[in-house]
Amino acid sequence: MLTVDFDRLGLRPGDRVLDMGCGAGRHAFEMYRRGADVIAFDMDADELANVSDLFHAMRQAGEVPEVAEADVKQGDALQLPFADGEFDRVVAAEVLEHIPADIQAIEELVRVLRPGGALAVSVPRWFPEIVNWKLSDDYHNVEGGHIRIYTDAELVDKVTKRGMDYVGKGYAHGLHSPYWWIKCAVGVDNDGHPLARAYHRLLVWEIVKQPRVLRLAGKVLDPVIGKSLVLYFRKPAEDGRA
């Protein structure tokens, strides 16, 4: 279940890419399949071990181009252990809403991106997220949970003030917002509730089978109630070229 549009990001085979806050690795895996040289970065050593194992399995199964490379790196988003301008593309998907010092994290993302490179940042969208917060304190009052709700304009402002050019935005996962509204209404841990269980089956069908009717429904719902906001930026090139 991808949030970032890699065609819009301009991802190309051979690009060196950072997936900052990779979690279980969904974006890192897709970028690796597309022939990028990927670094999956996170604080969670257990998550990274699983990501590394799957990178290896993908290589063994012949799912990635021979020349592509992938590795994992553990560390702090506020002190990325990479050189200035090291990456052609940087992805930070559903990460900044967890970080108290978000501006410092953004500055690090910009620092490690090369001039002319592209950045994709996704966060929970304001409207679906505020409904969740209103319905349930348990949704966000957890260790490592969401600490803020961004508006589109706020996040664009924070990133462009760090020296990036704003390219555009998109929305994703329109079918997922109602699921979380149901969960927050009946109890975020109440997975056995009939409504939550039924809607979860629908989402599994969407992800596994990708039926045409749900793909069409997603395209209709994404701009209206898409759970994720995705912003795209480009770092100005020193010579005026991308």
**Encoded amino acid at 145, one letter:** G
For the chain, the domains span: 6-173+226-234, 174-224
Whether 242 shows a pLDDT value over 80: the answer reads no
Please enumerate in sequence order all residues whose Cβ is within 8 A of that of 212, keeping only pairs 6 or more positions apart, or say none: none
Instruction: Report the run of H or E that residue 9 belongs to, with start and end.
Output: helix 6-9
Using N-to-C axis directions, what is the helix angle for 45-60 and 26-33, rounded to 10°?
A: 30
Instruction: Please state the rounded mean pLDDT for residues 203-222.
Output: 94
Taking Cα atoms as reference points, which of 131, 233, 123 lies closest to residue 172? 123
Q: Looking at domain 6-173+226-234, does it have CATH number 3.40.50.150?
A: yes
CA angle 209, 210, 212 (to 5 degrees): 125
Q: How far apart, in Å, are the Cα atoms of 233 and each of 169, 196, 218? A: 9, 36, 24
**Three-state secondary-structure class, residue 20:** strand
Question: In the prediction, which pLDDT does 238 show?
Answer: 79
Q: What is the mean pLDDT of residues 172-190?
A: 97
| Residue pLDDT, tens place only, 200-212 | 999 999 999 999 9
Cα–Cα distance between 118 and 94 in angstroms, integer? 17
pLDDT tens, residue by residue, 224-239 = 999 999 999 999 997 6
pLDDT digits (tens, 9 = 90+) for 32-73: 999 999 999 999 999 999 999 999 999 999 999 999 999 999
Are β-strands 228-234 and 165-172 bridged in parallel, bridged antiparallel, or unpaired?
Answer: antiparallel
Residue 95 DSSP class: -
| CA distance between the termini of the chain | 29
Is residue 68 classed as helix, strand or coil in its secondary structure?
A: coil
Q: pLDDT by residue (tens digit) across 70-114?
A: 999 999 999 999 999 999 999 999 999 999 999 999 999 999 999
**Can you give the pTM of this predicted structure?**
0.95
- d(CA 31, CA 68) in angstroms, rounded, equals 10
pLDDT attached to residue 114: 98
Question: Could you give the dihedral angle defined by the CA atoms of residues 98, 30, 211 and 216, in that order, rounded to the nearest 10 degrees?
Answer: 70
Instruction: Check: CB of residue 214 under 8 Å from CB of residue 92.
Output: no
Q: What is the pLDDT of residues 156-166, one digit of tens each?
A: 999 999 999 99
DSSP state of 139: T
What is the pLDDT, as a whole number, of residue 1? 84
Residue range 7-30: mean pLDDT, rounded: 98
Model pLDDT for residues 136-151, shown as the tens digit of each residue: 999 999 988 999 999 9
The Cα–Cα gap between 116 and 239 comes to 9
